[in-house]
Structure 1
Amino acid sequence: MIKRCLWLWVMCLAAQVCQAATGVTLVDDRGVTVRLDAPPARIVTLLPSLTETVCELGGCARLVGTDRYSNHPASVRSLPKTGGLDDANIELIASLKPDVVLLALSSRVTDRLESLGMKVVALEPRTYKDVQRVAGKVAQILGSADGGARLWQRLEAQVDAAAKGVPASARGLSVYYEVDSAPYAAGESSFIGETLSRLGARNIVPASLGPFPKLNPEYVVRADPQVIMISQRHAGDVGARPGWDRIRAVRDKRVCAFSSEQGDVLSRPGPRMGEAAQVMARCLRESVAANKGGAVR
């Protein structure tokens, strides 16, 4: 009887150790320690860059719901859409019975989800270092020991390759990157600004103004950028803005107008940043010859 009890005790202890070994413990961007008993089988993501990171790391099949803006890869488009950053559908998320919800640090539903007993991990990539860190955290959640490091190495190589494709004549060009027609711009300290720097471009918005500052339109006129990067939706009215017809980029037809699909790639700090770098590098290459062939596309 004693031997049998001892054997059972050893077996129980071994089971507990194994269970602990398969669990996941991490600190999210709130500084909160989150403990998962096992790598999650059911994941809800509430930020497109997190959706793309999960999929890039092989976890797409574990997604049971995403925010309304997640549209890549194509397989996530058919998943239940739970709303946006400020209007996430709590009831729908709960009905999906997620093992974990991955969302932005700025999300307003974190406390509510946790009050309902859901595990929440807040991760918000804003810079290159953030993307590297978030890739590692998501890989950890998925139970992939080195997936994050491999993803980051691939991104770095892709950005380096894009930079090598920018000719010397395009390096040093001053760039205004508009993220919204208010206008909001991508500054040097943003992940977009970091990519521009890696490509050898000179951002007219210094880091001191923040990553995505709202600018006075006159600021852009005074800065007189040589290249403008902007969405197709707002590119048509650039020359009609007060004083903007005097900007070199407008006068010399160095305006890169990005499609909505390209905009998604460019605006998401995640696995497609290498592709984004290629898009911007192509804009810089074409800009040096823009005077010969009309507006840059």
Structure 2
Amino acid sequence: MTMVFMLLCSLSTLAPAHALQLTDDRGVSVTLAQSPQRIVSLLPSLTESICALGECQRLVGVDRYSNDPASVKILPTVGGGLDPNIEAIVALRPDVVVLATSSRASQRLESLGLKVVALEPKSHADVQRVLKKLGALLDIPDAAGADRVWRLIDSGVSAAAQSLPASTRNTRVYFEVSRGPYAAGESSFMGETLTRLGMKNIIPAALGPFPRINPEFVVRANPDLIMVGSRSADAMKSYPGWGAIKAIREKRICLFSPEQSDVLIRPGPRMAEAARIMAQCIASKAGAGAG
């Protein structure tokens, strides 16, 4: 009898898997019985963040655009973040699906009984916050996870800024994110990186993080430097009046490869690398005559 009592006492001291509760960017409170071991990610920046937190092995499926780190390329793909293959996701039996707040899949997935966490960073502060949310979801202490990753990002952006000569400061920049044209505004994570690099963004924060703009706005603003991905560059040739823009006249255009663009447009652990890519462009194209 005494042995049975001792056994029961010892079992009662074992810590059960504790429930997790967090509020996502929709304002929805999500409760899970324990930290998820099978995760489907429908946003590349979330995929990269989970891996940067050291938990890549929990991913069982990703969207078609998640391509970093290389290990995620062998995972099953379940469509795009906005148009995922619901049946393929269900077949993977995930404990949770992480996706952007802009994804239309949330309600459909939840109606099928799946747990959904929507997170969508748009600024540097958002990236830090989302890392903490993911750290909580993955049951990783901040000091070992989110704080460590954020320090690497922050110090990397600072190092990129310090690498630039004083002559590049206050260069007026236009960054076209995609055809439309859609631009990176001051309030976006890309705009915040440009500010930390000492640049002046011609797209004010009042227009929003990634506004669709009239090409004539850029003609009037007359930037010293233009940044654009190679996927969008051809469309620029048709914009009226752009031949008169200082950056185009003086061939101060940074043309980013698809691989570089992937780094630049994702608000996550590769933002320090994005800052280095921007800084290399600025150093080679700005400076004398710009400003």
Counterpart contact for 1:229–1:257, Cα < 8 Å: yes
2:27 pairs with one of 31, 37, 41: 31
Once residues 290 and 275 of structure 1 are traced to their aligned partners in structure 2, the CA distance between those partners, rounded to angstroms, is: 25
Matched, 1:129 2:125: yes
Cα deviation 1:199-239 (Å, max 9, x = unaligned): 00000000000111111111000000000000123335645
Identity %: 56
Distance in 2 (CA, whole Å) between partners of 1:103 and 1:34 is 13
Residue 150 of structure 2 corresponds to which residue in structure 1?
152
Q: Write the distance in 2 (CA, Å) between the matches of 1:5 and 1:105.
A: 52
Q: Secondary structure at the match of 2:227?
A: strand
Residue in structure 2 matched with residue 187 of structure 1 by the alignment: 185
1:7 CA drift (Å): 5.8
Gaps of 5+ in 2: none
C-alpha separation in 2, matches of 1:201 and 1:10: 64
Aligned counterpart, 2:239: 241
Q: Aligned equivalents of 1:290 and 1:260: distance in 2?
A: 28
Partner Cα separation in structure 2 for residue 7 and residue 115 of structure 1: 45
Q: 1:11 to 1:115 in 2, by over 3 A?
A: farther
Amino acid at match of 1:19: P
**8 A contact 1:221–1:244 mirrored in 2:** yes
Paired position in structure 2 for 1:196 = 194
Aligned counterpart in structure 2 of residue 164 of structure 1, from 156, 162, 165: 162
Q: Distance in 2 between matches of 1:225 and 1:239?
A: 16
1:19 is matched with which residue: 16, 20, 34?
16
Shift of 1:6: 6.5
Give the match for residue 267 of structure 2. Answer: 269
Residue pair 1:238, 1:250 contacting (<8 A) in 2 also? no
The aligned amino acid for 1:63 is L
Alpha-carbon distance in 1 for matches of 2:111, 2:6: 40
C-alpha offsets along residues 247-288 of structure 1, whole Å, 9 cap, x if unaligned? 000011100000000000000000000000011111111113
Cα deviation, residue 30, structure 1:
1.8
User: Which residue type is aligned with residue 80 of structure 1?
Assistant: P
The Cα offsets for residues 100-153 of structure 1, whole Å up to 9 and x where unpaired, read as: 111111111111212222111111111111100111111122221020011001
| More displaced 10-residue stretch of structure 1: 250-259 or 143-152 | 143-152
Asked if the contact 2:156/2:273 (under 8 Å) is kept, the reply is: yes
231-240 vs 87-96, which moves further: 231-240
- Helix, strand or coil at the partner of 1:19: coil
1:105 is paired with a residue whose SS is: coil
Q: TM-score, normalised by structure 1?
A: 0.91
Kept after mapping to 2: 8 A contact 1:185/1:212: yes
Query: Is contact 1:126–1:190 with CA below 8 Å preserved after alignment?
Result: yes
Kept after mapping to 2: 8 A contact 1:235/1:255? no
Q: For the Cα contact (< 8 Å) 1:64–1:80, is it kept in 2?
A: yes
What's the CA shift for 1:241? Answer: 2.9
1:14 shift after superposition: 3.5
- How many angstroms apart in 2 are the aligned matches of 1:98 and 1:7? 38
Query: 2:168–2:287: 8 Å Cα contact kept in structure 1?
Result: no
User: What CA distance in whole angstroms lies between the structure 1 residues aligned with 2:5 and 2:113?
Assistant: 36
Task: Specify whether residues 145 and 248 from structure 1 end up closer, same or farther in structure 2 by C-alpha distance, changes over 3 A only.
Answer: same
**Which runs of no fewer than 5 residues in structure 1 stay unpaired?**
292-297
Q: Is contact 2:175–2:184 with CA below 8 Å preserved after alignment?
A: yes
Other structure's SS at 2:211 match: coil
| 1:86 aligns with one of 82, 88, 95 | 82
Q: In 1, Cα distance between the equivalents of 2:223 and 2:256? A: 17
CA shift for structure 1 position 34: 1.9
How has the CA–CA distance of structure 1 residues 96 and 200 changed in structure 2, closer, same or farther, with 3 Å as cutoff? same
* Range moving further from structure 2, 200-209 or 279-288: 279-288
* Runs of 4+ in structure 1 over 4 Å off: 3-13
- SS at 2:83 equivalent: coil
Structure-2-length-normalised TM-score: 0.93
